Chains A and B, each alone.
Chain A
Amino acid sequence: MTCTEARDLMHQALDGCEEARRRLEAHLAECPECRDEFEALQRAQDVVAEMVASDPPEDRLERATVAALAVADHRQHTRSPWAALAMAAAVLVAFGVGLLAGRAVWPREVVRMERVPQIVEKVVEREVPVVEERVVVKRVPVVRERIVYRDRPAKATEAEEQPPAAPPEPVMPEIREERIVAKPMPITITQTEEVAPAPVVDEETPEADEIGGEPRAPEEQRLALETSASKGGRIVQ
């Protein structure tokens, strides 16, 4: 027997095979290396056996037994046919209640509704005082005014004074705005001869000047009146 064959027999002998142990003993008597190896393997198995060997404590055994019997009996009662029937009835009742409540009993997707602020437009009619505007037309006296333009020496304006170095511009007669209220002038004309009627001159009437051309000087007006008077007219004021 070779040492390799002896190694295989060592494990068989340690497994409990008596035939393998008898065959091995002859080789071990002749081979100290295989004998040492076999003793080492036997020792390894022995120390493991010493390690796992136990003398179960009686108190632990009793606790485990009593608890196991209690648990098994409880489960046995709950698994009896009547218990199963009662549980099935309870499930059906719960399912029915759930349906009535609008909810399924089994798990399902749950949609959570949350209250959120919402802006609602609302038209509210209320009576409020309203101020009515009316247009009232009243007749009021109106004073008619006429505008008469008369020649006057013009004054230098601030615009013409600036700049001083500029040549003076020709002075233009200032057109002044003057309010003149026309008054009726009683004129009595006594015509003795058939002469051409003398024109009624109103010094303050601007229409003649504006329409007739160049405005007349006061001296020229006076001469005209005298001329018309010499032709048979008379001016009575």
Chain B
Amino acid sequence: MAEAGRELIARAKRGDRAARERLARRHRREVFRVAYAILGDDEEAEDATQEALVRMLRGLAGFDERRDLGAWVRRIAVNCALNAMRRRPDEAEAPGEQTAASNTADEAQTHDLQRAVRRALAELPERQRVAMSLFALEEMDLRSTAEAMGCAEGTVKSHLHRARQRVREILSDWLED
């Protein structure tokens, strides 16, 4: 599998259009999930996914196929998502603030909890928010989060502990019921 992956990367580096397309399709889902975890908006995540895939295809020429392509692509996705988040107007409403019409009391409570979580994450420093969002993804662990953020695992631990404690304090009314 790893050998097949390296061969595919080598073909893509030589300009094989089919190999390039296969690589893009193979990694587009995790790119989108990372972007959405940081941005929280489908449209912005789509734009960030497109930009990340373009960067991946452009950077293939200088990529060492012995390295983990997935980690490198997630790192690109994090940077594109952060760039998109920094381009937001200051006064713009944070994505996910809009609530759909709730039909039941449970749905209304769920939407209120989601808004509360969004506000709690928005109050965190950027590195803490990114660390907690990426680590919360199912496929991410400490190592992959550290690779995606471009820092050491110890740094990610520190970010995670502070972020987790802060969110727990902000959502105390919701979490202690």
The interface of chain A, by Cβ under 8 A from chain B, is: 11, 14-16, 36, 40-41, 43-45, 47-49, 51-54, 56-57, 60-61, 63-65, 67-69, 71-73, 75-76
Bound Cα distance A49, B121 (Å):
12
Neighbouring B residues of A15 by C-beta, 8 Å: 142, 157, 160
The interface of chain B, by Cβ under 8 A from chain A, is: 15, 17, 20-21, 24-25, 28-29, 32-33, 36-37, 40, 42, 45-47, 49-51, 53-54, 57-58, 96, 113-114, 117-118, 121, 132-133, 136-138, 141-142, 157, 160-161, 164-165, 167-168, 171-172, 174-176
A47, B113: Cβ atoms closer than 8 Å: yes
29 contacts between A and B (CB under 8 A): A40-B172, A40-B175, A41-B165, A43-B168, A43-B175, A44-B167, A45-B136, A48-B117, A48-B132, A48-B133, A48-B167, A49-B137, A51-B136, A52-B36, A53-B33, A54-B45, A56-B33, A56-B45, A60-B42, A61-B49, A63-B50, A64-B50, A68-B54, A69-B20, A71-B50, A72-B20, A72-B53, A75-B58, A76-B15
Number of A-B contacts (CB under 8 A): 123
Known: A61-B29, A61-B46. 19 other contacts (CB 8 A): A15-B142, A47-B113, A48-B167, A49-B136, A51-B96, A51-B121, A52-B133, A52-B136, A52-B137, A53-B138, A54-B36, A60-B46, A61-B32, A63-B46, A64-B28, A68-B49, A69-B24, A72-B58, A75-B58
Bound Cα distance A51, B132 (Å):
11
Bound Cα distance A166, B46 (Å):
131
Neighbouring A residues of B171 by C-beta, 8 Å: 44, 47
